[in-house]
Structure 1
Amino acid sequence: MAPTNTAAYYPSDKAPSLEIGSAPYPTPGPDEIIIKVAAAAINPVDAKIQSAGTSLFPFLTYPLAGGIDVSGTVAEVGSSATSKFHVGDRVLGFPCDFASRSGAFQSYVAVSASVATKLPEATSFVEAATLPSGVATAAEALYAYLGLEHPSVPPRPRNGKTVLIGGGASVVGSNAVQLAVASGYEVITTSSLSNFAHCISLGASLVFDYRDPDLANKLVSAFSERECAGAFSCVEGSNSVVFEVVGKSKGSKTVACAILFSKEGVPEGVKADMFHAFRVKDTPLAEVVFGQFLPAALENGQYKCAPKARVVGHGLESVQKGLDIIAKGVSCEKLVVALGEQE
């Protein structure tokens, strides 16, 4: 008999609050694992799904169990994934299909084995839940779009090229900084003054205050004797300054954007596109990052679960609390709900 499953649902399009109810147990496809959820993180996209619904995401169907960051224990393994995972493995996963069977806000979730990672014992479930979507987003930007060298353990030697990352203290930025450093690139980034130490701790060489009215000129000066390997604007507010700096620097003129709804402000000669993290699923890049690099980098302490986790509550009832908090904005932290055993 299948285990009992419970989920926090968006009951209908733009419904103001989630509902807790029973859910079908998701049996695994050949390339999937079923994770018994211990912790799930909350992202801005989760709040946008609630507030904007099909106006922004026309492909959604309701009721919908959401959530794209999860950690827990493997409960079942699909026939083609048995060489990678076993029942009882501690893992993190990126359930990115925007379908109820692969929504993190439930007791059991189906996740593609390609975007799951075994966890070392020293990494807690709460810490691990901060990583999946941030890692996937940064990997897709840096490697699939900008074409950077892949990360390694230990980090690749410096190759003499520099990556500009706008918003280095954000969830995606914190992962982008670490991945770029592991790939052999110098990183220059932006953040608030209070988060400079955070960015430096992740490997950034230089950090600039994003509120500085002279930011663009200072960044251009910093790149005057550097070769730009490309840039990643992790927050919409950094787009314009990143475009300007890349346009005036030598080297790559390519910018990956986490959010870019219009190319009206992109200067001539600069290539900029918005990309989607879910594209990493079932790709060779997923195997490199989630299958090979991340387990080893977590095990030896090279990779940090950053930014820090903030537990907003325990149980599915706390997911709505997290959505309300993140809708107002957070800084240099990731909201996590504990949903199961935390061993």
Structure 2
Amino acid sequence: MGKNQAAWLTGAGAYPFAVKDGPRPTPGPSEIVIKNAAVAINPVDWKIQTHGRYLSTYPFILGEDAVGVVEAVGSGVTRFTKGQRVVAHCHGLMTGNPSNSGFQLYPVVTEALAAAIPENLSFEQAVVLPLAISTACAGLYQKEYLNLPLPSANKAEPTGQTVLIWGGASSVGATAIQLAAASGLTVVTTASTGNHGFVKSLGADIVFDYRSSTVVQDIATALRGTKFVGIYDSIAEEKSFAALADLVETLNISIPVASVLPYDKPTATFAPKYVLAYAIIQEPNHHVGEWIWGKFVPEALANGRLQAKPDPFVVGTGLKDIQNALDIQKRGVSAKKVVVTL
């Protein structure tokens, strides 16, 4: 194992990251060390850096998406061996331990949030998935959220149910579409007109332009008469919340709504529930994480049922380029995921 280095956030609002020695990577029980080959950037990364949210201890390392080769395995690890190609959702924000974060050369990750990847999938492609998978699953499959049937890596049995995924071309939305389709649901989604073909290629059945002045009425018309079971808001901004509140009122229904960010104006009929990605490996939803990361992801990546989408937008090489990558993500990207090769 080489020397570990990391991109450190040295304090609340500190800019840029400081690249220096990282924590000593030692796997505990049920953990693996990855020799990191690439990282992806998520909005939560720059939001924490800019606003100082979530963290009380500094210096800290951010980063939720890592991919590479298994360098070491801890006791009790059954699914991985040294030298294996893996992708992982790094859970440092859950543990509060910077060793478990992605922006370093040797992250220590839990076996429960990692999966083997096939040889034909590049590291840069695979790394777009991890946090999006856990976040999508937390909203789709937990009992207190949409409670959909777990997805099949083979042919899904149609359930006759319909789900609405707002923001289908986003990282979480693109993954949620694929998962819901693999669970046998009819998927209605929104995307800009330029991304309609993209979301349909992922398994969306009906797509609406979220910019259309009639989008709420159009979706309501499409959903009437269906067995409509839930909404996943993968955008969770004022405009999406307003449109979805209007939709629920138009349909005059009460329905589960999962959201990637909290909503501060809940009503009796519209009360989106904020999802926590790593809840799928905690009780009482441990079975969700076991099924998704232990079975569905490796099998569905191997047979092509799960596509690594949206495509990577590689913006640099090395820890020194991670700050610039956050800045690019913050300015906004469409149907792409910002990636840095290490």
TM-score range, shorter chain: over 0.9
Tell me what 2:17 maps to.
18
Query: Which residue identity does 2:171 align to in structure 1?
Result: V
Give the counterpart letter for 1:272 in structure 2: P
Long gaps (5+) in structure 1: none
Match of 1:309 in 2: 312
Percentage of identical aligned residues? 38
Alignment of 1:229-308 (within 5 A): 229-237=229-237, 238-249=240-251, 253-262=255-264, 264=265, 266-282=266-282, 283-308=286-311
2:263/2:271 contact within 8 Å kept: no
Distance (whole Å) between structure 2 residues aligned to residue 247 and residue 110 of structure 1: 46
Shift of 1:192: 0.7
CA contact (8 A) 1:314 1:338 kept: yes
Which 4+ residue blocks in structure 1 deviate beyond 3 angstroms?
Answer: 246-252
Whether the 8 Å CA contact 2:39–2:102 is kept in 1: the answer is: yes
Aligned to 2:41: 42
Over residues 88-130 of structure 1, what are the superposed CA-to-partner deviations in whole Å (9 max), with x where a residue is unaligned? 1100000122231011111100111001000111111111110
Counterpart code for 1:173: G
Is the 2:263–2:272 Cα contact (8 Å) retained in structure 1? no
Aligned partners of 2:308, 2:210: CA distance in 1, in Å? 23
Contact 1:231 1:255 in 2 (8 A): yes
Q: Distance in 2 between matches of 1:217 and 1:261?
A: 23
Q: Where does the alignment leave 5 or more consecutive residues of structure 2 unmatched?
A: none
**275-284 vs 224-233, which deviates more?**
275-284
Distance change in 2, residues 1:272/1:8 (3 Å): same
Which letter maps to 2:259?
Answer: C
| Aligned counterpart, 2:91 | 96
CA distance in 2, matches of 1:3, 1:312: 24
Query: 1:273: Cα distance to partner?
Result: 1.1
TM-score, reference length from structure 2 = 0.94
Residues 1:251 and 1:228: Cα distance change in structure 2 (over 3 Å): farther
CA distance in 2, matches of 1:250, 1:184: 25
Aligned mates of 1:276, 1:136 — CA distance in 2: 8
Q: Deviations over 1:178-215 (max 9, x none)?
A: 00000000000001111111100000001100001111
Question: Aligned AA for 2:19?
Answer: I
Q: CA 1:209/1:35 → structure 2, altered by over 3 Å: closer, same or farther?
A: same
1:178 aligns to 2:197 (yes or no):
no
Q: Does 1:335 align with 2:334?
A: no
1:243 Cα shift? 3.0
Answer with 41-50 or 280-289: which moved more. 280-289
